[in-house]
Amino acid sequence: MAELTGKTILVGVTGGIAAYKMPNLVSMLVQKGADVHVLLTENAKNIIPPLPFEALTGNRCLTSPFEQSDPPVIHHIALAKKADLMFIAPASADIIGKCANGIADDMLTSTILACKCPVYFAPAMNDRMYTNSIVQENMEKLRRHGWHQIDPAVGHLACGGAGLGKMPNPEELYLYIERELACKKDMTGIKLLVTAGATQEAIDPVRYITNHSSGKMGYAIAKAAMLRGAEVTLVSGRTALTPSPFVNTVDIVSAADMYREVTARAPEQDIIIKAAAVADYTPAEVANEKIKKKDDDLSIPLTRTQDILGFLGAHRVPGQVLCGFSMETEHMLENSRKKLEKKNVDLIAANNVKVAGAGFRGDTNILTLITRDDETELPLMSKEQAAHQLLDKLLEIRLQIQHERGIPDED
């Protein structure tokens, strides 16, 4: 779902040593379907020649606005007109200073100043240069004029020392481009909370009760909503997954932790999706020391955890859309419909763990989206695709609720 097919991306490379990383980023963009054009400064050619970029993109790597072509083309204007995004990495102090002061004396600066699309700078330089007040003032000027900056990392620098000024790796840079271009922004202005992963209920300092949830479905929903423009909060049990840097992630351990964090944030949310596998029961008492093994059997008294979805349904704010998940092993539709009514929610996303492709830990899912009025059976698909299908349905429900409340469509 997060493809860049049909998008034109201009990548500007300057004379920073981090230029050697840029073929990897360009390759990622091409593999996602983007039409990529690379512009090099003269100093950048001292670090990496045009040939690798031309081989990766299939496009001529331009370094001068005066390069000849047949028929004649004003290259910097032609590229700027068709660009969906301009991305400068590494962005040297020189290129930042020129753009901040409207100087266009080469192919790259001329193209940047001609662009009407979003422009991103990824500064990369020695920490002494990066923290210089003139450089900081120039970057602030760029931000003030609506251009975007990706903060550098702290790490090993070309001078041999360590400090602030290291360009993020290509995988991280790609996330900024993906966020900008991959999806239509039909969720802009919407606050969405999603829960993910499994809770852990402590027995003693060593052991706990949990389940097989990997958190992949909830994380896919969080990322999909973020790509579509929503302000996303992810309340996550412990997982092996890395959350998106553009999602507000709240880490929890137990069902009680999740209840506290979700209910505290619920009133301000437009959409809440309960995708986490929360424990229904927790040990009545937690031992202070490790429980030692004995020859006879062991019984652990359990008490009911607080019902998060039930609380949300009973205390929902006007216009709020609520979605729960129902993972069943039998009577999926019947049990899910009962849950829909009992919890007072708008939609239940149901699946049967016994069906191949729909269980825990996998990268695919088979969901049935159940509302009070209908059921939509989705085929086997990736969890990312299922996340977008679910969000489509929730937006339909939100629009219906707004109509019923007499709220005009936002266009």
* Within-domain flag for 252: yes
Together in a domain, 211 and 323: yes
Together in a domain, 27 and 72: yes
Instruction: Supply the DSSP string of 50-105, one letter for each residue.
Output: HHHHHHHHSS--B--TT---SS---HHHHHHHH-SEEEEEEE-HHHHHHHHTT---
Please list the pLDDT of the chain residue by residue as tens digits (411 residues).
558 999 999 999 999 999 999 999 999 999 999 999 999 999 999 999 999 999 999 999 988 877 777 677 788 999 999 999 999 999 999 999 999 999 999 999 999 999 999 999 999 998 899 999 999 999 999 999 999 999 998 877 777 777 778 899 999 999 999 999 999 999 999 999 999 999 999 999 999 999 999 999 999 999 999 999 999 999 999 999 988 889 999 999 999 999 999 999 999 999 999 999 999 999 999 999 999 988 889 899 999 999 999 999 999 999 999 999 998 888 899 999 999 999 999 999 998 888 888 777 789 999 999 999 999 999 999 999 999 999 999 999 999 998 887 766 655
Together in a domain, 267 and 375: yes
Which of these three, 181, 209, 235, is where a domain ends? 181
* Within-domain flag for 411: no
Together in a domain, 166 and 283: no
* Residue 169 belongs to domain with CATH number: 3.40.50.1950
Residue closest to 24 by CA, chosen among 56, 51, 70, 2 = 56
Together in a domain, 251 and 154: no
d(C-alpha 61, C-alpha 51), whole Å: 8
Q: Please give the tally of structural domains in the chain.
A: 2
In Å, how far are 138, 139, 263 from 134, measured between CA atoms? Answer: 6, 9, 46
* Within-domain flag for 334: yes
Token pair in block for residue 303: 């008490």
β strands within 174-331, DSSP E: 191-196, 201-202, 208-209, 231-236, 248-251, 271-274, 281-283, 302-304, 321-328
Together in a domain, 148 and 220: no
d(C-alpha 41, C-alpha 90), whole Å: 11
Together in a domain, 266 and 395: yes
* Within-domain flag for 353: yes
d(C-alpha 57, C-alpha 27), whole Å: 8
* Within-domain flag for 186: no
What SS3 state is found at 317? Answer: coil
Together in a domain, 133 and 232: no
Which of these three, 156, 181, 206, is where a domain ends? 181
159 is catalytic: yes
* Within-domain flag for 108: yes
d(C-alpha 190, C-alpha 320), whole Å: 11
* Main-chain phi, psi angles of 384, to 5 degrees: -65, -45
Q: State pLDDT tens for residues 32-70.
A: 999 999 999 999 999 999 999 999 999 999 888 777 776
Among 115, 159, 183, 323, the active-site one is: 159
Which of these three, 151, 181, 211, is where a domain ends? 181
Together in a domain, 201 and 173: no
Together in a domain, 138 and 269: no
Together in a domain, 139 and 265: no
Residue closest to 215 by CA, chosen among 305, 277, 279, 308 = 277
Buried b (16+ CB within 10 A) or exposed e, 57-95: beeebbbebeeeeeeeeebbeebbeebbbbbbbbbbbbb
Q: State pLDDT tens for residues 104-121.
A: 999 999 999 999 999 999
* Within-domain flag for 410: no
Together in a domain, 101 and 238: no
Partners of 304 in the beta sheet? 281
List the domain range (segments joined by +) for residue 316. 191-290+299-404
* Within-domain flag for 231: yes
Partners of 248 in the beta sheet? 233
pTM for the predicted model, two decimal places: 0.90
* Residue 222 belongs to domain with CATH number: 3.40.50.10300
Residue closest to 164 by CA, chosen among 149, 153, 173 = 153
